[in-house]
Chain A
């Protein structure tokens, strides 16, 4: 009885509703709610009875038999565990969308309920003609709803859906007739009895119908137009019910088609995925983007049908399709393509969850399915794996662009949309639930970095880095939103990261941290472009990481392709050589202390990854260490030059950060003990000084509201402490001896010379000299020179920002004067790694010795401080006291300077340098990436030229697809 209730209650509701609306829309809505809630309850009861919620045996089913007798005479509905999960989602989505329909088209209730009935029937149906009936109910309800809900292009959307539905009817009925005439049965199993010509005919007919209905690539045109044209509420309901049902039905039918080798599905799917996502890059309307995303998932379904079987197939398909549909539902409920809706920060986040889900970011449910699925592909179908991964990456790009463009309208009132919020909550809950189910796959033993000392270094780095960013989180300016939560999440994930014991754990924590950081960045003012670039590159590195992990079977082992992919992932995350674009875009956009976190702490995750790769591939040496060292060196150089030219404080720091990370790469690439010591030393040192610098920048930004050099300057009087800490950091990263930075350079150069990598070293040295240019620019542009009257009100940075800087500055001093404190710990730990070449530095008291050089930081420190102190004290106590004169009181040819702004030299600061560089071709990353973008755009344009917007063309596509299939199958069989 419960079975019947779960399936047919909406139908009864629809009939009852047909009688009610004209009298009282309230009553009809009430009836709908009652019916839907009852149906939902029945479904939940059934799902519990089927034990569906642990996702193990999703093919388990109960039979709801109808009519008289048993199949093939009568029709059975097979309520599978997977189906019932989908049904729960459908019920939920329908319930949540009702109120929006009630507001716009109150009389549409029967159609909604009919659509739900059709969806339920379709996923349960086991009879091929019965499926047809449900297909038709669905099509008609969809067309009706589309035409009835007020929206600009509804007629066109409806007409296209109707055209396709007409063609599908004809093809489907042809298939039914052929099937019946050949086998005398209409159950789905009968498909297996077909043979010869009729098998081919039925297969190509049904396959065409399926590909058309699920909107997979070559036949997706009508779906795109439909999603674009239909009103958002209809499209949302459609994607959560009907579209989902069709997908699941296709998943049921596809393996049964007598088509020989099902790998053809996978090829159609994989190729379609790439092509449609290429076209998707060019989509601008949000509805259309959802259409492309649907197409992507349809293609994924095809791939899954072609490459997997059994319960794994069911599980993959159910999780992928159900949650992507829910995500689309909530996006549609939020993102009305017609009205430019207004969002608050809250809305932005709510909006992000579905996007993340569609992009397959952990721990949202789709991630788990995608991960297992891709792992399967990687080990069995490598070519398809790459194709699919490419497609998914492209999808991520436009999804994030979509999100950033939507969230650009961040402001004002009432983002609260119960339907979407509820769906998002459901997704999140489901994420928690599925994560709990998959918890066993995680491993926190720290196996990927065998050395516990190094692990502890990273643990403490991440923890300390995060903690130091925390005090300042409430010092936000203007319209920056609260980001502390995401900072905390990201930091927590990072802190656990070194403990990851296998690939999936590592990937999970990595993505977790990355996307929590993406959200945090999005809290900034006008952060959308920065966030977009960050998200794109984060997901690029995520996908590379994923590919590497999957190809190496979950570990980080062995050289060759996986290791290269993993290395690339780390390089992208570091922003090395070309990919620095995201650093430069994201840091200036990010609010408050987030840049400090990203640059200081988060970037060390990629160091961790490199270390892990090196340790598990050859016990210490990275694949192509020389190449990596070169990448590091060249990045260090170009980063430094770009930093010197940067017009913005934070942008400069971003370039500088990329440049400094290059040294770590040089050290790691060396694969010698000295190199690794240098790399670790610099990792720690980079964290310290870069955080201090960015926290200082946060303070400056907080007090002045700007980070452009043109508007800054002269702040030393207003913010002496910030200046002092920044000065210490700058001296340190310019590697001027008494402070910490020199140590890393010294170790690195010794290592490089020891291995004979002199050219790398020369480039590195040059980069460190160029670093002076920007280090001075940084201090002068912000703190020295003339104080603009604009910033006359500025005060010392608030304590929450200042105290962490003080701690870091002290750390720099301590590390600078007594580097042996750290080296005594690092050197033995690194010495213990088996695969590293070269000799360890010898530490005698304060003296560090290598084969060629010596360094006694303590003595140098004493000397510098002694002499400086002597000169200082001597000048302080002897002679007359200098008189302080104001900033405009300068020797200006007898004139009075017109204004502070006019005589503050900061624009185009290193012009001579730029002129000297003029002989170089003017290449920059932005141009390259816009070139890439353009190329992809052209490809996308070429692909989407297929979708002419003419309904009949889409029909022709379907028929041509059918013919091609025929040719292919006849040729192939």
Chain B
């Protein structure tokens, strides 16, 4: 009870802190700082029409690399932790609807995912969303199947290969322009085309593969661990 009240007080005080530090309650007049720069220079610099992707992959590629590592670490950690602990061995059998659906849908989901990944620099989307979509297909397959999936060699290979490729792409930029993850090691092409925007599509692909494989890995570990005891 005391904890609740103290929690409330803390939270309220926090809100006061945050609100009191807002300087004014007007609308910002326009873009400021780097936002403006991105919108002005983005297409020229990167050749990507989708500025978010441009920022994510090109300008702040390092963040993305880091993010991939976050995901990678988390999935490795989850797998590692879960394999170390003896877990329940019998997953509940899935219902027939799920079983059926999981046989039909994944193909199209994967296709959709790949589309999102590959068109990341053109339209909303990119490696992360696409990868997540692809992973959902795996999830579906897993849910439909009654077997306990091991972390397949294929997944591991994709995961590893994608990561290494990302890193090597970075080094490629380093070698060519002295700038890690430089976008221009491949020609920028004409904005709006599929094969344009330097290495952005490539990296999107890598990220997609990576995200898909990592998430699938996590799912499969969960699945393995989550059975009845």
Direct contact of A and B (CB under 8 A): yes
Which residues of chain A are within 8 angstroms of B69 by Cβ–Cβ distance?
11, 14, 114, 117-118, 137
User: Do A64 and B180 touch across chains, with their CB atoms under 8 A apart?
Assistant: yes
Interface status of B132 (Cβ within 8 A of chain A): no
Interface status of B92 (Cβ within 8 A of chain A): no
A147 to B20, CA, bound (A): 40
In A193-216, the 8 Å CB interface with B consists of: 196-198, 200-201, 204
CB of B116 to closest CB in A, whole Å: 22
Q: Which residue in B3, B33, B162, B181 is a CB contact (below 8 Å) of A67?
A: B181
CB of B66 to closest CB in A, whole Å: 4
CB of B126 to closest CB in A, whole Å: 15
Q: Which residue in A68, A147, A186 is a CB contact (below 8 Å) of B184?
A: A68
Which residues of chain A are within 8 angstroms of B83 by Cβ–Cβ distance?
107
**B65, B83, B166, B183: which has the most chain A beta carbons within 10 Å?**
B65
Binary per-residue interface labels of chain A (171-199) against chain B in the complex, 1 for a CB within 8 Å, 0 otherwise? 00010001011111110000000001110
A291 to B35, CA, bound (A): 43
Given known contacts A69-B45, A111-B76, A4 and B170 CB-to-CB distance under 8 angstroms: yes
A793 to B81, CA, bound (A): 64
User: Do A19 and B156 touch across chains, with their CB atoms under 8 A apart?
Assistant: yes
User: Do A19 and B170 touch across chains, with their CB atoms under 8 A apart?
Assistant: no
Which residues of chain B are within 8 angstroms of A956 by Cβ–Cβ distance?
6-7, 10
User: Do B73 and A66 touch across chains, with their CB atoms under 8 A apart?
Assistant: no
Given known contacts A16-B160, A18-B163, A140-B77, A68 and B45 CB-to-CB distance under 8 angstroms: yes
A69 to B181, CA, bound (A): 11
User: Do A67 and B167 touch across chains, with their CB atoms under 8 A apart?
Assistant: no
Interface status of B97 (Cβ within 8 A of chain A): no
**B14, B46, B81, B159: which has the most chain A beta carbons within 10 Å?**
B81
Q: Which residue in B41, B72, B175 is a CB contact (below 8 Å) of A110?
A: B72
Given known contacts A107-B80, A147-B77, A185-B34, A201 and B63 CB-to-CB distance under 8 angstroms: no
Given known contacts A68-B45, A117-B69, A15 and B160 CB-to-CB distance under 8 angstroms: yes
Given known contacts A73-B38, A204-B17, A147 and B81 CB-to-CB distance under 8 angstroms: yes
CB of A651 to closest CB in B, whole Å: 54
A175 to B24, CA, bound (A): 17
In B111-169, the 8 Å CB interface with A consists of: 151, 153, 156-157, 159-164, 166-168
Binary per-residue interface labels of chain A (551-586) against chain B in the complex, 1 for a CB within 8 Å, 0 otherwise? 000000000000000000000000000000000000
Which residues of chain B are within 8 angstroms of A77 by Cβ–Cβ distance?
62, 180
Chain B: CB-nearest residue to A125:
B62
Which residues of chain B are within 8 angstroms of A182 by Cβ–Cβ distance?
23
User: Do B58 and A140 touch across chains, with their CB atoms under 8 A apart?
Assistant: no
Given known contacts A68-B184, A148-B80, A963-B10, A185 and B33 CB-to-CB distance under 8 angstroms: yes
Which residues of chain B are within 8 angstroms of A178 by Cβ–Cβ distance?
21
Interface status of A638 (Cβ within 8 A of chain B): no
A182 to B24, CA, bound (A): 11
User: Do A133 and B76 touch across chains, with their CB atoms under 8 A apart?
Assistant: no
Interface status of B105 (Cβ within 8 A of chain A): no
User: Do B33 and A963 touch across chains, with their CB atoms under 8 A apart?
Assistant: no
Interface status of A12 (Cβ within 8 A of chain B): yes
Which residues of chain A are within 8 angstroms of B14 by Cβ–Cβ distance?
959, 962-963
A180 to B164, CA, bound (A): 32
Which residues of chain A are within 8 angstroms of B219 by Cβ–Cβ distance?
none
Interface status of B1 (Cβ within 8 A of chain A): no
User: Do B63 and A129 touch across chains, with their CB atoms under 8 A apart?
Assistant: yes
User: Do B77 and A18 touch across chains, with their CB atoms under 8 A apart?
Assistant: no
A741 to B67, CA, bound (A): 79
Interface status of B60 (Cβ within 8 A of chain A): yes
Given known contacts A15-B72, A148-B84, A141 and B77 CB-to-CB distance under 8 angstroms: yes
Q: Which residue in B31, B73, B184 is a CB contact (below 8 Å) of A140?
A: B73
User: Do A4 and B174 touch across chains, with their CB atoms under 8 A apart?
Assistant: yes
In A340-390, the 8 Å CB interface with B consists of: none
Which residues of chain A are within 8 angstroms of B73 by Cβ–Cβ distance?
110-111, 114, 137, 140-141, 144
Chain B: CB-nearest residue to A1:
B174
Interface status of A422 (Cβ within 8 A of chain B): no
Interface status of B229 (Cβ within 8 A of chain A): no
Interface status of A905 (Cβ within 8 A of chain B): no
Interface status of A227 (Cβ within 8 A of chain B): no
User: Do A75 and B18 touch across chains, with their CB atoms under 8 A apart?
Assistant: no
Given known contacts A8-B167, A73-B37, A184-B34, A130 and B63 CB-to-CB distance under 8 angstroms: yes
Interface status of A72 (Cβ within 8 A of chain B): yes
In B82-105, the 8 Å CB interface with A consists of: 83-84
Which residues of chain B are within 8 angstroms of A959 by Cβ–Cβ distance?
10, 14
User: Do B72 and A18 touch across chains, with their CB atoms under 8 A apart?
Assistant: yes
CB of B191 to closest CB in A, whole Å: 14
Binary per-residue interface labels of chain A (56-67) against chain B in the complex, 1 for a CB within 8 Å, 0 otherwise? 000000001111
Interface status of A746 (Cβ within 8 A of chain B): no
CB of A961 to closest CB in B, whole Å: 11
Given known contacts A8-B167, A956-B6, A963-B10, A67 and B74 CB-to-CB distance under 8 angstroms: no
User: Do B18 and A67 touch across chains, with their CB atoms under 8 A apart?
Assistant: no
Chain A: CB-nearest residue to B20:
A197
Given known contacts A64-B180, A197-B21, A4 and B60 CB-to-CB distance under 8 angstroms: no
Binary per-residue interface labels of chain A (39-73) against chain B in the complex, 1 for a CB within 8 Å, 0 otherwise? 00000000000000000000000001111110011
Which residues of chain A are within 8 angstroms of B170 by Cβ–Cβ distance?
4, 8, 66
User: Do A19 and B174 touch across chains, with their CB atoms under 8 A apart?
Assistant: no
Binary per-residue interface labels of chain A (202-238) against chain B in the complex, 1 for a CB within 8 Å, 0 otherwise? 0010000000000000000000000000000000000
Interface status of B27 (Cβ within 8 A of chain A): no
User: Do B21 and A65 touch across chains, with their CB atoms under 8 A apart?
Assistant: no
Given known contacts A73-B37, A148-B77, A200 and B21 CB-to-CB distance under 8 angstroms: yes
Which residues of chain A are within 8 angstroms of B45 by Cβ–Cβ distance?
68-69, 73
A121 to B61, CA, bound (A): 14
Which residues of chain B are within 8 angstroms of A111 by Cβ–Cβ distance?
73, 76-77, 80
A108 to B81, CA, bound (A): 10
Which residues of chain A are within 8 angstroms of B182 by Cβ–Cβ distance?
66-68
A174 to B18, CA, bound (A): 9
User: Do A73 and B20 touch across chains, with their CB atoms under 8 A apart?
Assistant: no
Interface status of A22 (Cβ within 8 A of chain B): yes
Interface status of B26 (Cβ within 8 A of chain A): no
Given known contacts A8-B180, A11-B69, A18-B160, A74 and B77 CB-to-CB distance under 8 angstroms: no
CB of A75 to closest CB in B, whole Å: 5
User: Do A184 and B33 touch across chains, with their CB atoms under 8 A apart?
Assistant: yes
User: Do A105 and B84 touch across chains, with their CB atoms under 8 A apart?
Assistant: yes
CB of B39 to closest CB in A, whole Å: 11
Chain B: CB-nearest residue to A74:
B59
A16 to B62, CA, bound (A): 19
User: Do B66 and A137 touch across chains, with their CB atoms under 8 A apart?
Assistant: yes
A201 to B67, CA, bound (A): 26
A73 to B31, CA, bound (A): 14
Interface status of B29 (Cβ within 8 A of chain A): no
Q: Which residue in B18, B70, B183 is a CB contact (below 8 Å) of A68?
A: B183
Which residues of chain A are within 8 angstroms of B36 by Cβ–Cβ distance?
184
Given known contacts A66-B61, A129-B63, A133-B63, A110 and B21 CB-to-CB distance under 8 angstroms: no
Chain A: CB-nearest residue to B32:
A184
Interface status of B195 (Cβ within 8 A of chain A): no
A: residues with CB less than 8 A from B are 1, 4, 8, 11-12, 14-20, 22, 64-69, 72-75, 77, 105, 107-108, 110-111, 114, 117-118, 121, 127, 129-130, 133-134, 136-137, 140-141, 143-145, 147-148, 150, 174, 178, 180-186, 196-198, 200-201, 204, 952, 956, 959-960, 962-963, 966
B: residues with CB less than 8 A from A are 3, 6-7, 10, 13-14, 17-18, 20-23, 28, 31-38, 41, 45-46, 58-63, 65-67, 69-70, 72-74, 76-78, 80-81, 83-84, 151, 153, 156-157, 159-164, 166-168, 170-171, 174-175, 178-184
Q: List 5 A-B contacts (CB under 8 A).
A: A11-B163, A67-B180, A145-B77, A184-B31, A956-B7
What 4 pairs between A and B have smallest CB-CB spacing?
A184-B33, A144-B77, A15-B163, A19-B160
Q: Can you name 10 extra interface pairs (CB under 8 A) apart from A67-B61, A67-B180, A68-B183?
A: A16-B160, A18-B72, A67-B62, A68-B184, A74-B59, A107-B83, A130-B62, A143-B77, A185-B34, A201-B18
